[in-house]
Each structure stands twice: as C-alpha cells, then as structure tokens.
Structure 1
Amino acid sequence: MAAEEDSIEQAVAARQERLRALKAAQELLNTPDEDSAQVHDNTNESNPISDETNTNMKFRNYVPHDKQLQEGKLVPPVLPKFEDPVAGVPPPSEKKEDPFVNIAPKKPNWELRRDVQKRLDKLEKRTQKAMLKLMAEEQEKQKQLDGDGRNGED
C-alpha cells in the first residue's frame, strides 16, 4: 500500500507542476507587448472601470435574455425605399389583339415533305448513279470515235 500511496502522490505532484506550467504560459500570452501596453495603459486611465465589467458587445440578430446585455442590442438597419424608374412609367398601350389570331401557319406541304423525304433521298442517289453511267457511256462512244478516226488516218 505504501507503494500505491507514493505513486498517487507522485501523480498529484506531477499534475500540480503541469498546472503551474500552464498558468505561467497563460500569463505570458496575456501580458501585452511594450507598444500595446502603452495604448492599453492610456485606455485604462480614461476609463477606470475594469474590462470585465465593461462588456462592449453588439447584437444585431440576437436578442439576449440578460437585461445588461440587452443594452448592446443594435437597431436593425433601415434600407432606403427603392423606386424603380422603369416600373413607374406604364408601357404605351397598343391595340389588344388575340395572340392566337396572328399565328402564322407552316407551309401547307410541310407534312408531305417530311413523309416523302426518305423516298426523295433514295431517288437522288439513283439519279446520281444513272448520270455517272450515262457519262461513262458517253466517254466510251467518244473514245471509239476517236479510235476510228485515228485508224482511218494511218
């Protein structure tokens, strides 16, 4: 049991030492620099009330329940009234007509063209082939005529 008590005492002593080190580090962080210390001293001279009691909080969207904090609530900003100059002037009114009266119909043969388009494409291909065949035959005839004319000259 003596060993357990010694280990507990060592743990307590180590914890106390860590707490002292944390306090020292916190004090170092809270101490101001030389430049900021002068500014801080000047503010304390003009306002003798401590910083802890003088909370300078501003609440824009939150309503605090504490009465002391309600003093810091800000009034919501008032936006100026926007007047649209375009909306103020009514558009010039023209004749009111039924929009369905002026719908322009498509050409009367658009359905026919849509239905016949595949057949027209096939016919176009056949026409091109037939024209190539006729041109080839014409060239053959021309060659034969040129060949006959040369043989007669020799």
Structure 2
Amino acid sequence: MEQNVGSLQEQARKRKDRLKALRDKKLHVSFQEDGEPENKKAATEENIEEKHRSVYLRLRNYTPEDEELKVRQVPKVKPASVEDKVKDQLEAANPEPIIEEVDLANLAPRKPDWDLKRDVAKKLEKLERRTQRAIAELIRDRLRGSEDELAGAVGAVGVEEGDSD
C-alpha cells in the first residue's frame, strides 16, 4: 500500500509541475527583481494611458468656473412630458372599432351543453334518417290500407247505386 501512496504523491507532483509550466508558458513570465512580471507591468501602464485617452470629461450636474471646463459642460435637457407619452400610449392602445368584422355569434356566450350537442350530432343524424324512413313507411302502409278501404267503399257505393236503379 505504501507503494501506491508514494506513486500517487509522485503523480500529483508531476501534475503540479506540468500545470506550473503551462502557466509560465502562457504568461511568458520574465521576472524582475521585485517579482512582478514585466508584461503585467507594461499591460497595466498601457491600460491606464488608454483609459485616459478614451475618457472624455462631461459635466452634467456641475457648473465649472474655468473657461476650459465650460466647453465640456453638457447642455441642460428638459424632461419629456409624461402627459404626452401617456396620451400617445392610450391612442395606440385604442384602435378604431371595425363593425363589419364583428361576428355576433362569436360574442354570445355558449350554452353549457354545447360540447355534448357537438359530440352527439353524428348519432342524431343517423337517428334522424331512420326516423324519416320509418315515417315514410308508416305513411305508405296507411295509404295501402286506405286504398283497400277506398276500393271497398267504392264497391259498396257502386252496389248501392246499382240497387237504386
């Protein structure tokens, strides 16, 4: 077991050395006497000079007495009117109503059983057709029965007329 611990420590030391070498290679470190890398010092000095060049002094809330600084003073701006902004938003939110496109059927609330009627509609169509057929058949039966009665009535009337002659 001691060999495993020793080899693990050795592997960890090698890993640390490799990481340090990579860091040094990445930074291109050349140390001076004070221990700070040259490229780090140069970078910070360049950054400071760059910041001074890019910063432009703008005086918004301060009224300078010096003539050179008065040039950099930002002119006073009046705040925008809140009423105008609100009025514009209200006008944009209220479009003109278009009466032609309004469908009253869509506006009316649906009855609570509309979905049941929709689901049962196909079955009702079948039942309606069967009902119509049954009614037609009943009418035909009555007509056949009335034809027989009518023929019998006509025959009876003919017999009565023949007797009276």
Instruction: Determine if the TM-score, normalized by the shorter chain, exceeds 0.5.
Output: no
Higher helix fraction: Structure 1 or Structure 2?
A: 2
Q: TM-score, normalised by structure 1?
A: 0.33
Higher RCO, 1 or 2 (CA under 8 Å, sep at least 6)?
1
